[in-house]
Amino acid sequence: MKRSLVCLFLSFMLFYPLSADEGMWMLHLLRQQKLAEMQQLGLKLDDVDIYNPDGSSLKDAVVQFGRGCTGEVISPYGLVLTNHHCGYGQIQQHSTLESNYLEEGFWAMTPEEELPNPGLTVTFIEGIEEVTGWVKECLERDREDDTEGLFYLSPSYLNRLARQKVGEKFLADHPGMEVEIKPFFDGNQYYLFTKKVYSDIRLVGAPPSSIGKFGADTDNWMWPRHTGDFSLFRIYADKDGNPAPYAATNVPLRPKRWLTLSTVGVEEGDFAMMLGFPGTTNTYYTSWEVAERRDIDNAVRIAMREIRQETMLEEMLRDPAVKIQYASKYSGSTNGYKNAIGSSWAIDMRNFEKQKSVMQERLLEWAAKNNQMQYGDALAEIERIVTERASLRYRSWMLTEGIRQGIEFAAVPTASAEALAVALSENDQERIEELIDQLTDEFHQFNNKDYNREVDRKVARAMLKAYTDGVQQEHQPAIFTILHDRFAGDIDRFVDYILDYSLFGNEEMLQHFLDDPAEEVLRNDPLFGFARSVREESRRLHSELAGFDTPFRLARRTWLEGLLAMEGEHALFPDANLSLRLTYGQVKGYRPRDGVVYSHQTTLDGVMEKEDPDNWEFVVPEKLKQLYREGDFGRYALPDGRMPVAFAATTHTTGGNSGSPVLNGRGELIGINFDRNWEGVGGDIAYLPDYQRSIIVDIRYVLFVIEKYAGAHRLIEEMGL
């Protein structure tokens, strides 16, 4: 009896870590779920101060920045604060060799200098409504049309329901308004989000990368950290405050709410909470999915990206122009690479497979006692599918990481070239002229200012070597028969053939074709043939894997249904899905390993200790060094005179939380989330209370850089400090 009680207790511990910090909670359910616990930790607010469906609240100052980051409004004139890496693409697009904002930083000293960013959006959440019952009624109503049984997860179907729910007149009468229904717990719950989307967003300020990306890839996912990862944008609207396309006559938005900034600072143990749009987590993975993630997904990503990044970095360090061209591509690649490494480390170190197995056994025992055998059947189906799809999944990941995303010319569109070949064979002059213009446009989109053919050539050689070593010849795209037969496996010659004999190889080759268009040139073009063959192989693999999708998703829904039935519908938090969430915890350091202790705060001292003028990742701007030598930190210094840079907290975050506001118990802005520590990356699968930390730019460092380094005093005044 004693042993069984111990086992039950251990099972409970494995599924429910004794941590107040775990979870990404829905704002409108705080009172039912977490408000009392938050107030015990130090929250001074009520739930309606955070989310008020009938009035203004903190929620109204938090925005989705672009489609994958978070930002916060910090002034009555629509000033938005987010991460430097969230605005990196926009900063890069405005950079040239003559005006290199990545290297030098950018500060709009007047409103007229603020720079527009086509395609960038900022989204406010206007309302959240649970619609589970209504959606299920609609699913039953539309059952005959749901031939595959997947309407319950279909974004297109659910968003048609969303428009039906609010009515087309509502959308027509509210410019910029969008509605979306998202599934939660794999389709066991549904929420309707009403959103207002602004599209005239202008760059206001960004520190140089030597501040905003200090430590770069070496320090990525690491603590202690010394990065001023922030940038500033502004929302513009029409004269009535409505979303509108860019126009010179647009004016800064007057928002419903903006955050108050606190320069008081933080201490170990202080309450901290964060609002944001976390992207994807896998809290309810089964043990078989955990192993699949480590042994296939992560393993392939780590191996293939390491090869690509080493090749790119070598060229970036050799040529400053290439560094500008490939900075964003390199940064995007390393982020996922390090995430995969940290995820696999956590899976093994904390034995996530065992944790999930215990969770599964608990449900099986509960299901047996309650005569709910469908939950055991669902688990058996998940295990079967994960086992049977393993080989296909590996080949798909190799093709994606090694070629489709690893080689730039593999992504060249081919439809226009194919259509032009047909038009040439039919001598359809009107169609020929139209398609030649289209083909020319596609060439310039591919061969844009951020593309370097010689870098792509070197990357392709390295990636194809790794791909052909890892995938058996009979499972490679059909075009690879040319590599093996005509070039006897010589990858260098194969890549040269693709790039040097294609009309997309360079401007001269394209012009030569345009001077004398010929059908056979298009049909025999090696680059088009390569891209087409890779896409065909990708489609084939996708089609074969898709055969597992319907039974897998249905089994997952049943598995989650069982967990909710066992624990109660409000006992668990749903996996992240880019919907607005709240997480909370404490400002806190940690012990990464025996004998090592990390404090909660870093300072400018650490920047100077890491300085290495011969390493681009750790170059320190001369002006920052001067401010440090003079101790010119103004009102932002710590009591001991040091300048704070970053701090760590136990909040539960993931991708999408980049740029999230970190607030104290009074709801004041004390920092901006920008990363997680290496040891906590596995929190996407299971929270690690002893290890997991959010890495946060101290708001005092942000303000110090704006005021003292940049001299952008108009922005300091605008924030009303």
Distance CA 566, CA 366 (A): 7
Determine the longest span between alpha carbons in the chain, in angstroms. 88
Distance of CA 578 to the CA centre of its chain: 9
Residue type, 650: T
> In this structure, what token pair is assigned to residue 397?
């990941």
Q: Is 500 marked active-site?
A: no
Considering 502, 658, 660, 694, which one is annotated as catalytic?
658
Please enumerate in sequence order all residues whose Cβ is within 8 A of that of 605, keeping only pairs 6 or more positions apart, or say none: 642
Distance CA 297, CA 293 (A): 5
Distance of CA 690 to the CA centre of its chain: 25
For 89, 261, 365, 717, the CA distances from 713, given in Å and listed in that order, are 26, 16, 64, 6
Residues 527/502, Cβ–Cβ less than 8 Å = yes
Region for residue 420 given its phi and psi (left: phi exceeds 0; alpha: psi -120 to 50; beta: otherwise): alpha
Distance CA 51, CA 26 (A): 10
Which of these, 427, 451, 454, 439, lies nearest to 511 by C-alpha position?
439
Distance CA 412, CA 461 (A): 17
Element (H, E) at 80: strand 79-82
Considering 85, 226, 600, 652, which one is annotated as catalytic?
85
Distance CA 287, CA 273 (A): 31
For 398, 477, 646, 682, the CA distances from 534, given in Å and listed in that order, are 12, 6, 45, 32
Residue type, 537: E
The residue length of the chain stands at 721
Q: Is 658 marked active-site?
A: yes
User: Omega of the bond prior to 661 within 30 degrees of 0, cis?
Assistant: no
> In this structure, what token pair is assigned to residue 499?
């790039």
Could you write out the three-class secondary structure of 190-240? EEEEEEEEECEEEEEEECCHHHHCCCHHHHCCCCCCCCCCCEEEEEEECCC
Q: What is the CA radius of gyration of the chain?
A: 27
Find tokens 């395609």 and name the residue: 119
Residues 550/442, Cβ–Cβ less than 8 Å = no
Distance CA 97, CA 407 (A): 25
> What is the 8-class DSSP label of residue 698?
E
Q: Is 690 marked active-site?
A: no
> In this structure, what token pair is assigned to residue 592?
């990464």
> In this structure, what token pair is assigned to residue 31?
């009172």
> In this structure, what token pair is assigned to residue 666?
């009074």
Considering 186, 200, 217, 229, which one is annotated as catalytic?
229
In our burial notation (b when 16+ CB lie closer than 10 A, e otherwise), range 203-214 reads bbbbbbbbbbbb
Q: Report, as residue numbers or ranges, the catalytic residues.
A: 85, 229, 658
